[in-house]
Amino acid sequence: MSLEAEFLTALSDFNENNWNGDALTAKAISVMDLTLLEEQASRTEIQALCEKANFSQVAAICIFPHHLSFLNATNPVKVATVINFPGGNSEIQEVFTSLDEVLNQAKIDEIDYVFPYQAYLEGHQQLALSHCLQVYKYCQQQQLTLKVILETGAWPNLESLHLVCAKLIEQGCDFLKTSTGKTGKGATPSAAFAILKAIKESNSNCGFKVSGGIRQPEQAFTYMRMAEWVIGRTLDKSWFRIGASSLLDKLI
């Protein structure tokens, strides 16, 4: 059975849980990476994001590296920033330089890093995998959580996406993430299913982050139900995240 067929067969089961609307809403907020990835965002906008995140107690905020200086000295929620973003085309030394600069600017907890998916899809698979492994080792040394962005809309089919996920999990990563949100095609339920299936099959502690066009509560709830159903674990921010910029306003 193809992954697409398996996904369609399982689709009706995702909604069969005992959560009510209030429980889903509260959980969605608790696992959210509240995101503002606008190049020209002002200090006022970043600080307003932090206030909203702290008040709602989301899992983390996610902003550009050049906005880290706008943060207050202390933040109750975790801070994530993006690297090799959005195209995934930076040389490894450029990535290391960016990481060093980020760590010198602010206290960072998490890195959302774009996997060199274009290089991988052009046939340079080992180069792309090695690039990611080096970033993972760096993050381990610095005690940073690494979320690897796959840009799922770029993959030709679910099988190729599932395969690269298995390879990335085997060599090491903390989270697999669907999308940058900067291309025409963001997250889809079928792509999320392929990633989650790879995580489940690996018996690893790898987490999953869905992002890219998650604007409505029911979208978020679908991914939440799916993740819990496939992985067989109670949802928690330690292994599941939703990246979104406008979703929180519709949940509170």
pLDDT tens digits, 180-231? 999 989 999 999 999 999 999 999 999 999 999 999 999 999 999 999 999 9
109 in catalytic set:
no
pLDDT tens, position by position, 228-246: 999 999 999 999 999 999 9
27 in catalytic set:
no
Residue 84 belongs to a domain with what CATH number? 3.20.20.70
Q: Which two tokens stand for residue 94?
A: 């450029």
pLDDT tens, position by position, 124-158: 999 999 999 999 999 999 999 999 999 999 999 99
User: Which pLDDT band holds residue 22 (cuts at 50, 70, 90)?
Assistant: confident
**pTM > 0.85: yes or no:** yes
Distance of CA 248 to the CA centre of its chain: 16
174 in catalytic set:
no
Catalytic residue chosen out of the listed positions 27, 147, 177, 197: 177
16 has a pLDDT exceeding 80: no
Domain that holds residue 64: 3-250
pLDDT tens, position by position, 35-85: 999 999 999 999 999 999 999 999 999 999 999 999 987 788 999 999 999
pLDDT score at 73: 76
Of 53 and 21, which is predicted with more confidence?
53
User: Structural domain tally of the chain?
Assistant: 1
Catalytic residue chosen out of the listed positions 27, 78, 147, 209: 209
Instruction: Give me the chain's average pLDDT, please.
Output: 96
Percent of the chain predicted with pLDDT > 70? 98
Catalytic residue chosen out of the listed positions 112, 147, 197, 237: 112
Full DSSP string of the chain: --HHHHHHHHGGGTT-S---HHHHHHHHHHTEEEEE--TT--HHHHHHHHHHHHHHT-SEEEE-GGGGGGS-S--SSEEEEEESTTT----HHHHHHHHHHHHHHS---EEEEE--HHHHHTT-HHHHHHHHHHHHHHHHHTT-EEEEE--GGGSSSHHHHHHHHHHHHHH--SEEE---S-SS----HHHHHHHHHHHHHHTS--EEEEESS--SHHHHHHHHHHHHHHH-S---TTTEEEEESSHHHHH-
15 has a pLDDT exceeding 70: no
